[in-house]
Structure 1
């Protein structure tokens, strides 16, 4: 394929004209079916269109003809990552890196793959090479800032974000990232900068959400709870208007799990896979799961595997459903009558090669609380630590947190009362699991942990059957990357500021207080 044709297709893809780009690829392949550049670009077009399996086939075809082109391997890795094939994505990225790419775009692609996969040290190395080669692209600096933050390099992250904004002042996600990087001070310019940016804002709703949540965080930092709540309420209202949601969709998922797994089903379930490596840390988001992970993984025998989506994916694959909303009582019951040992093996295999080099690893996917009973059946040697926090603080923290805008798992978080309803269902399901599996699930109260770190840490390690190590009290020195909303907090020693935070919003949270009063849940 001539170079100018490749340039034409690249321009069409950048402009979003996928139909014309695809047609040009087809024409080139009709003339020469072995044209690896046409195969590559058709793979890119298919990936942009969300047709990932077709994209992978074309990208693999290009690689088979021209195996030494780094961009082909990098974009195959990008496609694999989008398809949640994380292990294969990392392998493709490492293959691309081994071919010594000399262009910044390929290095940026490689870095993003590593970041998505939780390989943040490799991500930083690739992204730093990208900005060295081309320091004039704001997205490269933004991606470097994010990876530096995950690695605990907050000064380097701030520098990268500011470089991104210098090159692209309207990069709203960089402005938002700066606000979240540190606690804002009353004399800082961040609040004014965000307000100016939001004045008469006419951009994408995703960017407006990032800016308003960042402004709310900055206002909370300087003690303006009323102003912070106004920004949160405005942002959440706009999101709900653009993305209608009914809590009954989530309630149906809980109901399927509650009705599909009872004592009889547990007794009749097939034996699980004998493996005691995993320690699952679960709970509502923003309840201390990352803090607990840092404490446990400061132990020399425990690896931090991150927030793994493997169990959710494997369960949906077995049930042949795309969305969690498609769970049914009958489907859950059929899962328990299937080969649960194979489910356990598949999960352990999916964690490789990141795990297996230490006796234990932590999977800190909070929403795995939904599957706690299934996990204990599939992996009877596993440990499960469930975090609990004051219901009001839990709901406020969920309402304040801008989760992934593309995720269907956090749609409840844009309505304060939906947060309360979700907490109620979480509480009900966890009590159900603990009744079915007495003494198998360890409950860790966040408030107890921050009030008496040593005693609570000793109890945690005892449950996990781990010998005492002083390093677990110095979790802030743990160098393992953190890619969660708590990435800044867990680099500091334990602090108690977050406990009883809700009382600063007492008036704004009155409807939630009244809701909990009707449920019997004590606040």
Structure 2
């Protein structure tokens, strides 16, 4: 029936199509039927009716790009230009291949005198129009979530034209959507061999490198793009993001402001205000961060990231008006699952600060359920991967390579001592880093991805040689491990500037302590942990933009905690002389004693400034950035008990 209705609309038989739609039962009014009903009513000059159908559709699927496109058309007919612009912007956000939406958006921009934005919109429309049909259809399928069909269309085309740059770019975007970032990087680099200055491929590559946390390379590409087209807002925003990633904060702030000044006072500015707010939060300028987050939701009430960003300031108290706005938005607006999740986390935090722990717990449960439902996560598999590290790095590997006993190394990097702070997130690692970074000899950095990248590369090389990882590692010499250590020091130099001691606080590096000591025998390792119930609850309360997939279920958290604890025990049996375990509870109740132990491990003198850490001016990029800018407090000890009556699974967690 729906195919027949669609055919009638295409041939202009709108009345007949509408008549058939009215014969459908309520149970048959799915997404496609609602969309066709909206199209019919637009043609019948009943825009208000069309918009009602579209509202129903977007409640079923808040990512339906063509529904937003239809909204835009109807708002234009009703001469509601601002609403049309917002709807069309959402349409091309969810599906950039909608050429008609780009064209209409260009018209709206021109009416508003935004000629630069109109030019960009027309350029996008022209780009997608000129693509081969298979590739254009592939993009459409990709953006609609049918990745398998997109890949089929793309590979069919590539079988006929294997060197087609646009097909290679699409295949890279498909790989990116599947989080196969290494494959996406390879495909884009191959495409750029054909056209080294292709702006679209360069832009995609910058984003892939950002996902792979290769920020310096992404920054260089973004610079090249801006040189090619200095007024392209996407390129400017990309460069701003990469500048912030490599701590070029003044440049990033200037670029964000430049983008904002080029955009109309509309919802399109909201993501830029969020990025600028994150920058100010990193720098400890909390009031500026707060203003930008508030501006974002004022521009777009449905922009859930703004509410979560405010909540993630940890001490921000939502006003009653803000709280009601959040509740109304969650209940009444068509939101994506991600937006519902972010809003629920924000509401949970808001009610927690109001000491309404029962309602807070309900929102935490909703938020975590929504987040977990989006993930393809196997907790048991992740736990097994931690256990596998014992087989990957048997004690014999350390005896044969004797990396720990090497006293003299010729390289200059051997004189540099990395300090790895490891453990679960939300366990006090940022506090510990801030304390150590307040020492005159120690450079604080950030959560560096380099160790995980090297570990992934070793796994990939083992697969390429059709070997199991333990067998592959067993044939590597001490010299080869040393070369990996040299590489790590060189790659991270932008952060530590060859200081004698620097901190790498990537929590999940606990998985790779064996590799770290084989590569960097001089490395010192500090494992910081909280009691298990506080640790699980702290992670359960946090939305992580990337990784930490165990955190969205309390039992998953407990399973992961036990596996982490067991693995650390194994590493300790091998590298105990360079591994110090710190209990968060001891750090906050006996800070001077604990800090002295750390100084002994590092063989540096204790300095009083270390306990005045909150006065140290430095960038902090983790969720705890605000908390480490105040003196040590003990209010978070046993904080799980606040939720124990409302989250009974907390009580079931065993030490």
Q: TM-score, normalised by structure 1?
A: 0.83
Deviations 1:163-200 (A, max 9, x none): 22232221111122122225244854333222122114
The answer to whether the 8 Å contact 1:185/1:221 transfers is: yes
Report 1:421-440 matches (<5 A): 421-440=559-578
> Post-superposition shift, 1:46?
6.1
Which one has a larger percent helix, Structure 1 or Structure 2?
A: 2
Q: Which runs of 5+ in 2 are unaligned?
A: 1-118, 141-153, 155-163, 177-183
Deviations 1:356-401 (A, max 9, x none): 3422211110010111122122211011111011111001111111
SS at match of 1:361: strand
Q: Map Cα deviations across residues 384-426 of structure 1 (whole Å, 9 max, x no partner).
A: 111011111001111111112x53xx22211111111111111
Q: Name the SS of the counterpart of 1:443 in structure 2.
A: strand
1:109 maps to 238
**Match of 1:53?**
186
Q: Which position in structure 1 is the counterpart of 2:582?
A: 444
1:277 aligns to what? Answer: 417
Which residue is 2:490 aligned to?
A: 349
1:190 pairs with one of 316, 322, 331: 322
Which residue in the other structure is 2:512 paired with? 371
Tell which structure's C-alpha radius of gyration is larger.
Answer: 2
Give the conservation status (yes or no) of the 8 Å contact 1:56–1:80: no
Q: Which whole-Å deviations, capped at 9, do the CAs of 1:117-152 have from their partners, x for residues lacking one?
A: 454443223212222333532222221112111111
How far did residue 484 of structure 1 move? 1.0
Instruction: State the TM-score, normalizing by the size of structure 2.
Output: 0.68
Comparing 253-262 and 492-501, the one that deviates more: 253-262
Q: What are structure 1's unaligned runs of at least 5 residues?
A: 27-37
| Partner in structure 2 of residue 316 of structure 1 | 456
Q: Structure 1 residues 196-205 or 301-310, which shifts more?
A: 196-205
Q: Indicate whether 1:257 and 2:389 are aligned.
A: yes
Of residues 462, 466, 474, the one that matches 2:604 is 466
Provide the rounded CA distance (Å) in 1 between the counterparts of 2:138 and 2:351. Answer: 46
Query: 1:490-505, aligned counterparts within 5 Å?
Result: 490-505=628-643
Kindly tell me the number of residue pairs found equivalent between the two proteins.
Answer: 491
Deviation at 1:43, TM superposition (A): 8.4
Q: What CA distance in whole angstroms lies between the structure 1 residues aligned with 2:608 and 2:120?
A: 60
Distance 2:242 2:126 in 1: 24
Summarize the alignment of residues 8-27 of structure 1 with structure 2, pairs less than 5 Å apart: 8-9=125-126, 19=136
After TM superposition, list the pairs within 5 Å mapping 1:320-335 onto structure 2.
320=460, 330-335=468-473
Aligned-residue CA RMSD (Å): 3.5
| 1:300 matches 2:300 | no
Distance 2:271 2:381 in 1: 36
2:284 aligns with one of 152, 158, 161: 152
1:289 maps to which residue?
429
| Residues 310 and 316, structure 2, Cα contact 8 Å, conserved in 1 | no
When structure 1 is superposed on structure 2, of 202-211 and 174-183 the one drifting more is 174-183
Of structures 1 and 2, the one with the larger relative CO (CA 8 A, separation 6+) is 1
The alpha carbon displacement at 1:483 in A equals 1.3
State the SS of the aligned residue for 1:438.
helix
Say if 1:10 and 1:475 are closer, same or farther in 2 by CA, change over 3 A.
farther
Residues 9 and 21, structure 1, Cα contact 8 Å, conserved in 2: no
- Cα distance, 1:91–1:242 mapped onto 2, change above 3 Å: closer
The aligned residue for residue 619 of structure 2 is 481
Shift of residue 88, structure 1, vs aligned partner: 1.5
2: distance between equivalents of 1:335 and 1:154? 46
Matched, 1:132 2:261: yes
Q: How does 1:139-178 map to 2 (within 5 A)?
A: 139-178=271-310
